[in-house]
A = this chain, B = another copy of it.
């Protein structure tokens, strides 16, 4: 099986050497690339094509791993020549992925999103994939990759990544804010320990319970958050706490307190939608 890489940055470098070690032929095209990129590619022992067209025609699976701003452009360039499966693995928004994949004439496309760190995990990094040919690239798992299919629709994989990212970046900000106050008071280790104990346990169960409680006690949570905002304001402008307060206020006005505690989080969303 021949694997192609459009672009040859960190992702392509890591994946191509891993896939080579696992017995696959790896190709790229270095036209117009920086000397650093050329050096990377040559060192990794990847085979070279003279043109992007040749690369696209030859590859059974062609990964697009370019700079985000080039994702649509490069898809246009090879769209008429891609004979195999075209996998967009760039870190771009769901709508940009869809635009890029729409340029691939044979329609054999995959929206792939890397979850986690390529630097830390190498070829084994978790990848989620959606789109018409998502199932077909799962055989790369026999060559050391770690791909999970998450649906037929192009855009689903990158949406899942984006929503995960909204969550994880928000958590970073929340931690930053809470621990900063603790640090100012000299009790940061105790606070971190206490939060850590809270977060040990089944995540999905706790997520359900949090969303259900949020809906059931939105008004009280908003009031409690007002006090927390006042407290945190002593050492910083507590942007996340203010937003949390606003979120619960907004929720208490949007959703009527259910007459009994919802069973799980999807019930809460059904309520919110008046279903």
Contact = CB atoms under 8 A, between A and B. Distances in A.
Contacts of A213: 172
B163 A182 contact: yes
A178 B164 contact: yes
B211 A175 contact: yes
A100 to B, nearest CB: 16
A195 B164 contact: yes
A243 B187 contact: no
Interface stretch (A20-28, A53-61, A233-241): A233-241
A150 interface: yes
B196 A231 contact: no
Nearest to A265: B179
A174 B179 contact: no
Interface stretch (A11-19, A42-50, A71-79, A244-252): A244-252
B207 A170 contact: no
A187 B171 contact: no
B162 A231 contact: yes
Oligomeric state, in copies:
2
Contact of A232 (B115, B166, B185): B166
A108 B159 CA distance: 56
Contacts of A99: none
Nearest to A203: B196
Given A239-B250, A243-B243, A269-B183, A199 B197 contact: no
B248 A169 contact: yes
A151 interface: yes
29 contacts: A93-B227, A159-B185, A160-B182, A162-B227, A163-B195, A166-B174, A166-B178, A166-B225, A166-B232, A166-B240, A166-B241, A167-B195, A169-B224, A170-B240, A170-B243, A171-B171, A172-B213, A173-B243, A173-B248, A174-B174, A176-B211, A176-B247, A177-B247, A179-B207, A196-B203, A199-B203, A239-B243, A240-B244, A240-B247
List the 7 shortest-distance A-B pairs measured between CB atoms, nearest first. A243-B243, A172-B210, A170-B174, A173-B247, A196-B203, A170-B244, A167-B178
